[in-house]
Amino acid sequence: MSPLALKDAQHIVLQHAVALGAESIDLLQALGRVLAQDIRSNRDHPPYAVSAMDGYAVRAADLSAVPVQMPVVADIKAGELPSIILGAGQCARIMTGAKIPDGADAVIRVEDTQASASHRVQINVSAQAGKDIRQRGENLRTGEIVLAAGSEITPGALGILAMVKCARVQVRQRPRVAILSSGDELEGLHDAFDANKIPDANSYALMAQVQALGIQPTLLGIARDDPAELRGMLALGLQHDVLLVSGGTSVGVHDFVRPTLEALGVQMHFWRVQMRPGHPAAFGTTASGKVFCLPGNPVASMVSFEQLVAPALRRMMGHARLYRRTLPARLTQSLPHRAGNLEFVRVVLGRDEQGYLATPTGSQSSGVLLSMARADGLLVVPNKSEGLAAGDSATVQLLDGTAFQEYSGIEEQ
Ligand code: AMP
Ligand code: MG
């Protein structure tokens, strides 16, 4: 099978990734989850017209000539239900969030008044009816869908769920993900230091990528390049919804992962993708699970996760937004490229008056994990490109952490 274009590989993966079932969870645990039910409001909010300001409730028609002195006939606090009916020429002191008394149709802010004799106030400005009043149901209306199934529970959405008293909420389940590293040369995090070994980075970098999506994966550890050991650990991994195996997936004589998976009944759908790093990525399914074979080189493993695994996990969690946000940036230096593969260059982002600037993070060898550790994003060099020049614009796919920046970016005037 010839290598697939990335979009075709993504298409195959997503065909096999469907949203999981629903589960009921506590609201306190719901941040970042995806709603499996429409949420309707169980109340009008505010429940009645309330004041948007600390000030005086008035009848707008009484303010045709200002300033005007008025008797203050009541003092209304938030949470109180006033029994008075405001008569012509009268006003009531009112606090933010307090119920507008019958008869009143506007609020004058305290800053636009002057206290005079006791129980009297001077109103300095006139107002249109409705001024500084929040109408009943302006925020939420009884029976109305306020959050639709499929939406992500952001902090704001979580606040709405609390307002409509959803102490428990139906959300999409999260996939159970297992991670396995393979290779005789690998040294585990807690193994004795051996200068001749290669420390296992992939288990942990992949773990972190999965965690960043809101899923706690299971680490299965390291399998040696031994068919029997590999078989046992792969079989264990296949009991999960998604198994990620790194290393041992290319065409070396000790690369046993793919044949062993096939012997275990996994149907492989592709095993090479036209992208660099990440060329040897492969994907297979069983009746109940999915397995991604990721390249051993740490950068390649992480980049293939971003392109192939993350969209699948997001879909399984019920998200509609599957892909990382992209933005255009101009290169600060030239980038050589050989036509034939889509390439993901690790970059840091800066900014000038014209927009974002992208600078490669040093050596782009797929074994140099620091290139990824320092990156804000992955700059996309298209298949056909013969190289990019300094100043050329390219698409950058943002990585985790890039929702924050060093400067506020807000121009107040
Ligand atoms: P492989 O895909 O098994 O041929 O491995 C390719 C390269 O990635 C080799 O240099 C491996 O030592 C390295 N590698 C494989 N697995 C890991 C891992 N879990 N952590 C760090 N490096 C790895
Ligand atoms: Mg290997």
Q: Could you read off the pLDDT of 353-372 as tens digits, one per residue?
A: 999 999 999 998 998 999 99
Rounded Cα–Cα distance for residues 281 and 300 (Å): 9
Query: How do the pLDDT tens digits run along the chain, 413 residues long?
Result: 788 999 999 999 999 999 999 999 999 999 999 999 999 999 999 999 999 999 999 999 999 999 999 999 999 999 999 999 999 999 999 999 999 999 999 999 999 999 887 899 999 999 999 999 999 999 999 999 999 999 999 999 999 999 999 999 999 999 999 999 999 999 999 999 999 999 999 999 999 999 999 999 999 999 999 999 999 999 999 999 999 999 988 877 778 999 999 999 999 999 999 999 999 999 999 999 999 999 999 999 999 999 999 999 999 999 999 999 999 999 999 999 999 889 999 999 999 999 999 999 999 899 899 999 999 999 999 999 999 999 999 999 999 888 888 888 888 98
Q: Which CATH class is domain 324-405?
A: mainly beta
- Counting ligands in written order, which one lies closest to the CA of residue 205? 1
- Counting ligands in written order, which one lies closest to the CA of residue 366? 1
Q: What is the DSSP string of 277-335?
A: S-TT-EEEE-SS-EEEEE-SSHHHHHHHIIIIIHHHHHHHTT-S--S--EEEEEESS-B
**Superfamily of 50-134 according to CATH:** Molybdopterin biosynthesis moea protein, domain 3. (2.170.190.11)
User: Domains of the chain: which residue ranges?
Assistant: 6-20+174-316, 23-45+141-172, 50-134, 324-405
CATH code reported for the domain at 23-45+141-172: 3.90.105.10
Ligand 1 atom showing the smallest separation from residue 182 Cα:
16
Find out whether the beta carbon of 207 lies less than 6 Å from any atom of ligand 1: no
pLDDT for the residue 333: 98
CA 405: distance to chain centroid? 16
Amino acid code (one letter) for 184: D
DSSP 8-state code for residue 62: G
Find out whether the beta carbon of 200 lies less than 6 Å from any atom of ligand 1: yes
pLDDT for the residue 53: 97
Find out whether the beta carbon of 112 lies less than 6 Å from any atom of ligand 1: no
Those residues whose C-beta lies under 8 Å from the C-beta of residue 72, and which sit 6 or more positions away, are 56, 91, 92, 93, 119, 120, 121
Q: Calculate how far, in angstroms, residue 289's C-alpha sits from the geometric centre of ligand 2.
A: 24
Q: Which of 179, 180, 182, 186, when mutated, tests ligand 1's pocket best, judged by the most ligand atoms within 8 Å of its CB? A: 186
Query: What is the phi/psi pair of residue 159, to 5°?
Result: -65, -40
pLDDT for the residue 126: 96
Q: Calculate how far, in angstroms, residue 202's C-alpha sits from the geometric centre of ligand 2.
A: 12
Find out whether the beta carbon of 221 lies less than 6 Å from any atom of ligand 1: no
pTM: 0.93
Find out whether the beta carbon of 278 lies less than 6 Å from any atom of ligand 1: no
Q: What CATH architecture applies to the domain 6-20+174-316?
A: 3-Layer(aba) Sandwich (3.40)
**N-term to C-term CA, the chain:** 59
- Cα dihedral 276, 400, 363, 246 in deg (nearest 10): -50
pLDDT for the residue 167: 98
pLDDT for the residue 100: 98
pLDDT for the residue 403: 82
